[in-house]
Amino acid sequence: MTDERSARPPVVIEEGLRDGAHAAVVAMHGAYYARAWRFDAFFEQKVATELAEFISRYERGHDRMFLAFEDKRIVGSLIVDGGEPVAATNGAHLRWFIIDDAYRGRGIGKMLIGSAMEFVSAAGFARCYLTTFAGLDTARSLYERAGFTLVREARSETWGTPVAEQFFVWRR
């Protein structure tokens, strides 16, 4: 008898811009956060706009898009944004971390974060940060295992709905 998971093709992490990645990453964020957190179209539009802006200024020397693929389907993402104007003071920005619901619990998040942090170190960033919000406990655990520390938490509506926004920092 074959386990359904073992019958699936392996998930692989690829880096760099890929056709269809913008739409896939936005769709995963929109669907998950609407269902799990009742975020509305504001959030999906925010992800779409900010991700498009990132792609338009993408430079391989300080930016990376890490995508998890099963066969040719994107099932996860994590982006290192090292080209933001605040990068000189805040360091690289980890953004748009998401795993498709059907693929959670398979170690894909750990692979994405590992790939991203290898790049952050190799690119010479002394600092890296991310913003998230309270309640995303599995992701928080992955961040902390990668060396991130919560440095600030405050009420915020930048996500389109009130949340306890968290600011995490990693230092070399």
Region 45-50: what's the mean pLDDT?
A: 97
pLDDT for the residue numbered 124 = 94
- Specify the pLDDT at position 4: 54
**Alpha-helical regions (H) of 1-132:** 4-7, 21-37, 41-56, 87-90, 108-122
The amino acid at 11: V
Whether 152 maps to a domain, the answer reads no
The answer to whether position 30 is within a domain reads: yes
Per the domain annotation, does 107 fall within a domain? Answer: yes
Q: Which residue has the higher pLDDT, 87 or 138?
A: 138
What is the average pLDDT across 100-110?
94
117 in any annotated domain: yes
The answer to whether residue 42 sits within a structural domain is: yes
Coarse DSSP helix, strand, coil percentages of the chain, rounded to the nearest 5 percent: 40, 30, 30
Kindly report the average pLDDT of the chain as a whole number: 93
**Nearest CA-CA partner of 137 in 170, 109, 118:** 109
- Amino acid residing at 43: F
Residue 104 forms part of a structural domain: yes
**pLDDT the model gives residue 89:** 83
Q: How many domains does the chain have?
A: 1
Read off the pLDDT band of 93 (50, 70, 90). Answer: very high
13 within a domain of the structure (yes/no): yes
Query: Closest Cα partner for 159 from 39, 50, 49?
Result: 39
pLDDT confidence band for 92 (50 / 70 / 90): very high
Q: Which tokens hold the place of 166? A: 């968290």
Residue 85 pLDDT class (50, 70, 90 cuts): confident
CATH number (domain holding residue 14): 3.40.630.30
Decide if pLDDT at 129 tops 70: yes
Read off the pLDDT band of 2 (50, 70, 90). very low
- Tokens standing for residue 98: 């998401």
| pLDDT for 6 | 58
Partners of 163 in beta bridges:
156
Contact criterion met (CB below 8 Å) for 47 and 102: no
The two structure tokens encoding residue 43: 């959030």
Domain with 92, as residue range(s), is: 4-126
CA angle 128–163–149, rounded 5-degree value: 30
Predicted pLDDT at 131: 96
